Amino acid sequence: MDLEKPTRLTIPSWAEDDRPREKLLAKGRAALTNSELIAILIGSGNQEESAVELSKRILDSVDQKLKELGRCSVMDLTKFKGIGEAKAISIVAALELGRRRRDEEGVEKEKIGSSRDVYVHFQGTLGDLEHEEFWILLLDRANRVICKAKISQGGVHGTVADAKIIFRKAIEHLAAGIILCHNHPSGNLKPSEADIKLTKKLKSAGNDLDIPVLDHIIVAEEGYFSFADENLL
């Protein structure tokens, strides 16, 4: 005798309080789990899984860490059954918006008092990249952040920083000081000879323009190196 195949319980058949959209409206966004929030983004699952179940499996693949999920590409996400390109783009876009919001909040309130402040400011932007980027942090006379700007993007082993672009931005924003920052995707925090020569060149140019280079921070996922702290400025 054939056994009846169990019926999968889909989201529309759940109690209303357990449905992610309804739960958000009734209880607020803070009441939702990460998987429920992602389920809202993707809208539907696949033949075997609801959107929430599929979202749980995606999170399980990155040990429930949103930071790791933020490193996933569209191609990585489309490997999950039920995640097409459009759904993958929605997830990537939502995580990028979250990162940018965090960066904006930091810029609006932040006063730089140490090299660690700079590291914390940039770690979310640069810490998990697989290529090098060079950024600057422009400060006023009270060491408050005016803005930050990306100067260049390169490959795994390096990027170019043009002094003309750096100091043009500093002059445009009437900056009183500059902090240089770039990442090492390898995780190696030791500055290269090229890093040291570039820092000396930019420091000299800053002194001539009365816009001092206050520090140069190398960021990796698990730490940082400060030229100022190591007396290399």
Q: What is the domain-level CATH number for residue 200?
A: 3.40.140.10
Q: What does residue 34 show for φ and ψ, rounded to 5 degrees?
A: -60, -40
Report the sign of the C-alpha dihedral through residues 215, 200, 162, 140, in that order: positive
97 shares its domain with 34: yes
187 neighbors 164 (Cβ within 8 angstroms): no
**The residue count for the chain:** 233
232 sits in the region (left: phi over 0; alpha: psi -120 to 50; else beta) called alpha
**Tens of pLDDT along 173-220?**
999 999 999 999 888 889 999 999 999 999 999 999 999 999 999 998
Final residue of a structural domain among 45, 76, 102: 102
pLDDT at residue 107, rounded to an integer: 54
In terms of domains, do 166 and 210 share one? yes
Question: Are 62 and 124 within one domain?
Answer: no
Phi, psi of 29 (to 5 degrees): -65, -30
CB 55, CB 69: distance < 8 Å: no
Residues 205 and 157 in one domain: yes
What tens digit of pLDDT does each residue of 50-94 get? 999 999 999 999 999 888 898 899 999 999 999 999 999 999 999
Interior angle at CA 74, CA 73 and CA 80, nearest 5: 105
Same domain, 49 and 96: yes
Single-letter code of the amino acid located at 25: L
Domain of residue 212: give its range: 111-226
Please measure the distance between the N-terminal and C-terminal CA atoms of the chain and give it in whole angstroms: 82
How far does Cα 161 stand from its chain's mean position?
Answer: 21
Kindly state the tokens that stand for 48. 């075997």
- Tell how far CA 169 is from the center of its chain: 23
d(CA 216, CA 227): 5
CA distance to 12, 39, 120, 219, per residue, from 183 (Å): 46, 33, 13, 4
Please indicate, yes or no, whether residues 28 and 79 belong to a single structural domain of this protein.
yes
Are 182 and 191 in contact, with CB atoms under 8 Å apart?
Answer: no
- In this structure, the answer to whether residues 205 and 118 fall within a common structural domain is yes
Q: Which residues contact 223 (CB under 8 A, 6 or more apart)?
A: 119, 189
| 80/51 Cα distance (integer angstroms) | 12
H-run or E-run covering 170:
helix 163-172
C-beta of residue 36 within 8 angstroms of C-beta of residue 51: no
Per-residue pLDDT of 142-179, as tens digits, reads 999 998 899 998 776 667 789 999 999 999 999 999 99
Question: 139 and 84, same structural domain?
Answer: no
The verdict on 76 and 146 lying in the same domain is: no
Q: Is residue 231 part of a domain?
A: no
Q: Is 5 inside a domain boundary?
A: no
Q: Note whether residue 81 is domain-resident.
A: yes
User: pTM for this structure?
Assistant: 0.56
Same domain, residue pair 150 and 215: yes
Q: How many domains does the chain have?
A: 2
Query: Would you say residue 103 has pLDDT above 90?
Result: no
232 located within any domain: no
Q: Is residue 122 part of a domain?
A: yes
Task: For residues 124 and 33, state if they share a domain.
Answer: no
